[in-house]
Homo-oligomer: A and B are copies of this chain.
Amino acid sequence: MARPRSFDPDDVLEIARQVFWQKGFQAASLDEITAASGIAKPSLYAAFGDKHALFLRVLDRYHDGILGWAERTLAQPGPAREAIRQWLTGFIPYCSGEKGQRGCLSINSATDGSLDQAALRKSIERYNRRLEELLCTRLRADRAQFKKGFDPDITAHTVMVVHAGLMALAHQTPDSKQVKAVIDQVMSLLA
């Protein structure tokens, strides 16, 4: 029994994500987001709260997207190594060439010193924990495939480090072949 919203919040989050991803949290202004989305500021504030809260929503959405895809990819049948290789390979477009310029929104946010807000840190930590958990679970499940002495926990963390490194170096837009070669080399650890 009131005037209905004239926009889909999801659409706005999508646009806000693009702006934040392109510019970073600090450099992205709400004016840019209102301009890009056509939504006036008071509506934004009413729907999402202040800039930090909006960013948190955007980041959580981003995390959910990647986690969903990781869950699907890592649940694949076949050797764990191939599932993980495929997961990492899926990032190649985002850490080389044109799309690579932006890197990973989560890592960009984590390395942004201005974002030491508790809520942000928690979101990123939860995301990383969950991702590592997925890797770990898969490696443990397929433990029999590996050599004696293989440590799934450490290996999962190593894969996390490699993933973070690829995304951090994405801003230099490396050659995708080079990225692929690194993935191949690291995958030789899963034996």
Q: Which residues of A contact B (CB under 8 A)?
A: 21-24, 26-27, 102-103, 107-108, 110-114, 124-125, 128, 151, 154-155, 157-158, 160-169, 171-172, 178, 181-182, 185-186, 188-189
Q: Are A178 and B165 in contact (CB under 8 A)?
A: no
Note all chain B residues with C-beta closer than 8 A to A171. Answer: 110-111
Note all chain B residues with C-beta closer than 8 A to A27. Answer: 26, 113-114
Shortest CB distance A119–B (Å): 15
Chain multiplicity (copies):
2
Q: How far is the CA of A167 from the CA of B164 in the complex (A)?
A: 9
Shortest CB distance A47–B (Å): 24
Shortest CB distance A125–B (Å): 6
Cβ-closest chain B residue relative to A23:
B113
